[in-house]
Structure 1
Amino acid sequence: MDSARAVEDTPEEWPVVATATPFQGNKTSVRTDDVVMPDGSVVRRDYQVHPGSVAVLALDGEGRVVVLRQYRHPVRQRLWEIPAGLLDIPGENPLHAAQRELYEEAHIKAESWRVLTDVYTTPGGCDEAVRIFLARELSTAEGERYEVSEEEADMEQARVPLTELVRGALAGELHNTCLVVGALSAAAALAGEGFDALRPAEAPWPARPFDA
């Protein structure tokens, strides 16, 4: 690879000659596409269609991150995570969704917001895109706590130093995608140009275009 070439993901779409949706769930579905390869052959690709998600790395004034511990049935583990949730409404502003999730899951509000990073969680088998925000200047939200149910009713909440999350991620003790990516990204930002150099909270997101 030419060292002078920009290392940047670019849009591209290979032709699809047939498509089907063999499963439709409440929030996601499974799609089957017959895709034309560069050599002209056609291969079948099955993947999950996902509305997209947001996550919030909420960092307090003492360098601690708000984390939640929740049971995740597909992996049969109770994972430490950061507040996160689906983009339930097509075209929903991801910042508004992130603010809602921080309130609902942690009963916290934040005055300072930045985009920490954007990721595709499993691009080989799912089109889920996640925007991870950095939230600072935290305080307790006003009003009653949001009523939770199912797995969320058993959630634990804690504040853990960012450095400890980085250590745990590298030691193989923490596995949630948003927590690991968020913690490592925040540490990289701190070691580089600082949080003020991050993108603004309303930065464009081509993977999930949104209304202003």
Structure 2
Amino acid sequence: MRVEDAPEAWEVVSSTERFKGRVFDVVTDGVRMPGDEVADRDYVRHVGAVAVVALDADDRVLMIRQYRHPVRRLLWELPAGLRDVEGEPLAETAARELAEEAGHRAATWHTLVDLLTSPGMTDERIRVFLARDLTPIPEEENGFVPRHEEIGMPVEWVPLPDAVEHALMGMIHNAPAVAGILAAYAASVEGFTGLRPADAPEA
């Protein structure tokens, strides 16, 4: 059997929206199960996101630290953002987030890994990109104005092997950061030659 996730949609006999927000909604679906029983499944409908493993010429990962209120922690993360511009290609969303949050642009882009962050409770999808051949954006060219949690976010360049160690030792908890760091390290073994293009379709 080929190990590959496959599309599947079981019959939804009822759907109730419990909450509607700017970024996500909360929904209860009545889903017909095997054996013809209908079971309620609560889940979060999410707009989705992108994240960027930005590697410099010394194979250091650009990381930012951001406050995340639901878990009451300052988390080390990758530059990331919501898929909240309709019709915008995901690679462009990622480039915009890298510029806004970290003040860098990249000449080389690849798709690194696709994530379903918590498929038992949300349909959120995150595409993690690998960005290389980085150059800083002059401050006067970057018109982004930080707000809320983004104000004063520190930026740190972490050697990729150290980032892997931090992830495995439980020092980094953000899911796309952990997945992206480990995927980048695995891809580096073959010189990043096996990666999908930046505009690869989502399955």
TM-score range, shorter chain: over 0.9
Could you tell me which residue of structure 1 aligns to residue 201 of structure 2?
Answer: 204
Tell me the alpha carbon deviations over residues 104-141 of structure 1, each in whole angstroms, 9 at most, x when there is no partner.
00010000000000010000000000000000000012
Could you tell me which residue of structure 1 aligns to residue 177 of structure 2?
Answer: 179
Query: Quick check: 1:47–1:125 contact (8 Å CA) kept in 2?
Result: yes
Question: Number of residue pairs matched?
Answer: 201
Unaligned runs of 5+ in 2: none
> Does residue 89 of structure 2 align to residue 116 of structure 1?
no
1:149 aligns with one of 147, 150, 163 = 147
Could you tell me which residue of structure 2 aligns to residue 209 of structure 1?
Answer: none
Query: Quick check: 1:107–1:146 contact (8 Å CA) kept in 2?
Result: no
**Deviation at residue 24 of structure 1 after TM alignment:** 0.3
Structure 1 SS opposite 2:85: coil
Tell me the alpha carbon deviations over residues 42-81 of structure 1, each in whole angstroms, 9 at most, x when there is no partner.
0001100001110000000011011001111100100000
Cα distance in 1 for residues equivalent to 2:37 and 2:9: 15
Tell me the alpha carbon deviations over residues 130-180 of structure 1, each in whole angstroms, 9 at most, x when there is no partner.
000000000012413511010110311111101111001111111001110
Tell me the alpha carbon deviations over residues 184-207 of structure 1, each in whole angstroms, 9 at most, x when there is no partner.
00111122x33122000111113x
Q: Which runs of 4+ in 1 moved over 6 A?
A: none
Q: Pairwise CA RMSD of aligned residues?
A: 1.0
Cα distance in 1 for residues equivalent to 2:173 and 2:68: 12
Cα distance in 2 for residues equivalent to 1:164 and 1:39: 50
Unaligned runs of 5+ in 1: 207-212
Structural mapping, 1:26-175, within 5 Å: 26-142=22-138, 143-175=141-173
Question: TM-score, normalising length from structure 1?
Answer: 0.92
Structure 2 SS opposite 1:29: strand
Tell me the alpha carbon deviations over residues 7-52 of structure 1, each in whole angstroms, 9 at most, x when there is no partner.
1000000000000111001121111100000111000011000011
Cα distance in 2 for residues equivalent to 1:32 and 1:194: 45
Cα distance in 1 for residues equivalent to 2:114 and 2:66: 23
Identity of aligned residues (%): 48
Cα distance in 1 for residues equivalent to 2:142 and 2:24: 31
